Amino acid sequence: MTDTQPLEAPEGGTLLGDDQFSGRRAPGIKPVVTRGGQPAFFSAWDIHAYYGESYIVQGVSFDIREGEIIALLGRNGAGKTSTLRAIARVDDPALRHGEIWLDHKPLHEMKAHEASRFGIGLVPEDRRIIQGLTVEENLKLAQIAPPHGWTIERIYDLFPRLGERRKQEGTTLSGGEQQMLAIGRTLARDVKLLLLDEPYEGLAPVIVQEIERTLEQIKELGMTTVIVEQNAIAALHLADRAIILDMGQVVFDGTAQEVLDNEDLRHEYLAI
């Protein structure tokens, strides 16, 4: 039987090799994850996920403290979206190995709707605004069943543009406004872990800044968040910590500042 070793983020943002991961493979064993004596709020433990026979997420482990913002980075095709989807427990990719814990509950044993009810809030890349519904109807639909999160008025306080356009059909909004609606709709549910997949994608710089300011406000409120972004610099300015994926594996786990300061690392894995 493998020891339940504490999964510690390496001090100083070390590049992780296979040898360091092999000691952490602990199938079927509850991770005893601690940092500074505190159990991690979220922990992914050696997760492996497949699309059919395509082996994509290849032993990803990381943990998140409550209130922390993690930038999950890596080149196109590195496995970022697949990792978020595995955490959210959607069927594809299928999680075949590993454990995922959130607030002491085993997400790996849940289906997507259970994970969502428990507090996983995935804002997918394609935003999925529901056609034929107004902004307000999209928000109300998110609250059709408990547990409820923010009130609709509070969401409008955070995104005044959504309040102004409450009667407008959601799919007719600009890209930036649709992103706000996608985030707002997720906050309308009781979210413990917010997963944002490329929230700035395809948006003009001025809109990116607007959404960044909103995410800063959400950060102030202490919402635990994972942000995946091609715009790595923007994500790193928001985040406390960064995890870099390459070919479905974690190659870096350290502070956001370390990535900003390490040009070689950025060249090698982020092409910036």
Ligand X SMILES: Nc1ncnc2c1ncn2[C@@H]1O[C@H](COP(=O)(O)OP(=O)(O)O)[C@@H](O)[C@H]1O
Q: Which of residues 91-150 bind ligand X (CB under 6 A)?
A: 92
Site string for Mg ion, 43-82 (x = CB under 5 A): -------------------------------------xx-
Residues 6+ positions from 156 with CB-CB distance below 8 Å: 162, 163, 166
Of ligand X, Mg ion, none, which one sits near residue 82, judging by CB under 5 to 8 A according to partner kind? ligand X
The reply to whether 138 sits near Mg ion by the rule CB under 5 A is no
The reply to whether 195 sits near ligand X by the rule CB under 6 A is no
DSSP states along 155-167: HHHH-HHHHHTTT
Residues 6+ positions from 205 with CB-CB distance below 8 Å: none
Closest contact distance (angstroms) between CB of 126 and ligand X is 12
Q: Which is nearer to Mg ion, 122 or 139 (CB)?
A: 122
Number of residues this chain uses to bind ligand X (CB under 6 A):
12
Of ligand X, Mg ion, none, which one sits near residue 92, judging by CB under 5 to 8 A according to partner kind? ligand X
Kindly list the strands in the beta sheet with 224-228, ordered across the sheet, starting from the edge strand earlier in the chain: 120-123, 193-197, 224-228, 69-73, 241-246, 249-255
The reply to whether 222 sits near ligand X by the rule CB under 6 A is no
Cα torsion through 177, 181, 187, 192, rounded to 10: -80
Of all residues in the shown chain, the one whose CB is closest to Mg ion is 81
Q: Left, alpha or beta for 207 (phi > 0: left; psi -120 to 50: alpha)?
A: alpha
The reply to whether 202 sits near ligand X by the rule CB under 6 A is no
Q: Match 């609606």 to its residue by tokens.
A: 181
The reply to whether 59 sits near ligand X by the rule CB under 6 A is no
Of Mg ion, ligand X, none, which one sits near residue 219, judging by CB under 5 to 8 A according to partner kind? none
Q: Which of residues 144-183 bind ligand X (CB under 6 A)?
A: none
d(CA 270, CA 230): 8
Residues 6+ positions from 271 with CB-CB distance below 8 Å: 75
Choice from 48, 58, 64, 80 touching ligand X (CB under 6 A): 80
d(CA 84, CA 226): 9
The stretch near ligand X (CB under 6 A) out of 71-79, 110-118, 130-138, 201-209 is 71-79
Closest contact distance (angstroms) between CB of 52 and ligand X is 7
Please report, as ranges, the residues that interact with Mg ion according to CB under 5 A: 80-81
Please report, as ranges, the residues that interact with ligand X according to CB under 6 A: 51, 54, 56, 74, 76-82, 92
